[in-house]
Amino acid sequence: MQQTTVRQASGRRPTTRRRFLTTTLSSTLGAGLGAAALTACAADDSAAGTPVAHSTPGSARPAAAPTIQPPVANGKEALQRLVEGNQRFVANRSEEVDEGEERRVAVSKGQHPFATVLGCVDSRVPIELVFDQGLGDLVVVRSAGEVLDHSVTASLEFGVAELGTPLLMVLGHQRCGALTATIKALDAQRTEAEAGEIGYLVDALAPAVRQVKGKSGDRLDNAVHANVDLVLAQLRKSTVLGPLEKSGKVRLVGAYYELDTGKVTLNPS
Ligand SMILES: [Zn+2]
């Protein structure tokens, strides 16, 4: 049975994971496992409420032991995990990111990330840190302004369809330089391409800037949000992602990262 496989796997896995939080997540603590087995077993692990990964015989203090993250059953749980990770990051109480030797060895045998995230290349928005996640947790694709091209879209499709993440997030951010450059280019009515391939980015981001023309509020912030929505709309046209979303196998969400606070806010969907 898959369940048996899961529990055996969890028992073998090292327990270097972050010292876990509080009762918020303790009810769902379990073990990492393959995506296929994930859905079938998550409910059982949750119901049992037993931190399998650190069930040392005779241990009287299971709550204090380190543990690993359990699988997620669906996009909702994956999103909740990202939200909670970001809350830790914002509160300056990030757990020790699981990048130690034991974890590295464990994930070398296979990967079962729980979310795919498309973010900007901005050096101030490192995805794993922003969400307080470790090795093997996330599929991260980054391009300036979250601009899509064949390679980016295919990478996102790979994360969702091949690696089985039930969540795909597009993360825009405050004071995005790519969108700032696009605004400047449009305001200057520059028709010549920027140096190198940067003009490609400007062309790709121009629709978002044009869309918010005349809108009240901060122009750049408005463009960042509009761009996330446009990227999501494009992704929904993917012959891979669109049907997976419709069937409920993946959840697509947009979000905004505030540089000033570190906080990620979900876009209304
Ligand atoms: Zn940016």
Q: How far is the CA of 162 from the centre of ligand 1 (A)?
A: 27
Q: How far is the CA of 120 from the centre of ligand 1 (A)?
A: 5
Q: Does 41 count as an annotated binding residue?
A: no
**Stronger pLDDT, 212 or 106, i.e. the higher one:** 212
Does the pLDDT of residue 269 top 70, yes or no? no
Average of per-residue pLDDT across 187-197: 73
Does the pLDDT of residue 14 top 50, yes or no? no
pLDDT at 18: 45
pLDDT per position as a tens digit, 107-141: 999 999 999 999 999 999 999 999 999 999 999 99
Q: Does 122 count as an annotated binding residue?
A: yes
Q: Does 225 count as an annotated binding residue?
A: no
Domain span(s) for CATH 3.40.1050.10 in the chain: 74-266
Identify residues whose C-beta is under 5 A from ligand 1, the ion: 120, 122, 176, 178
pLDDT at 189: 79
Average of per-residue pLDDT across 200-206: 95
Q: How far is the CA of 224 from the centre of ligand 1 (A)?
A: 9
- CATH class of the domain at 74-266: alpha beta
Q: Does 176 count as an annotated binding residue?
A: yes
SS3 of the chain: CHHHHHHHHHHHCCCCCCECCCHHHHCCCCCCCCHHHHHHHHHHHHHHCCCHHHCCCCCCCHHHCECCCCCCCCHHHHHHHHHHHHHHHHCCCCCCCCCCHHHHHHHHCCCCCCEEEEECCCCCCCHHHHCCCCCCCEEEEECHHHCCCHHHHHHHHHHHHHCCCCEEEEEEECCCHHHHHHHHHHHCCCCCCCCCCHHHHHHHHHHHHHHCCCCCCCHHHHHHHHHHHHHHHHHHCCCCHHHHHHCCCCEEEEEEECCCCCCEEECCC
Q: How far is the CA of 38 from the centre of ligand 1 (A)?
A: 34
pLDDT per position as a tens digit, 27-59: 332 233 333 333 332 323 333 333 223 333 333
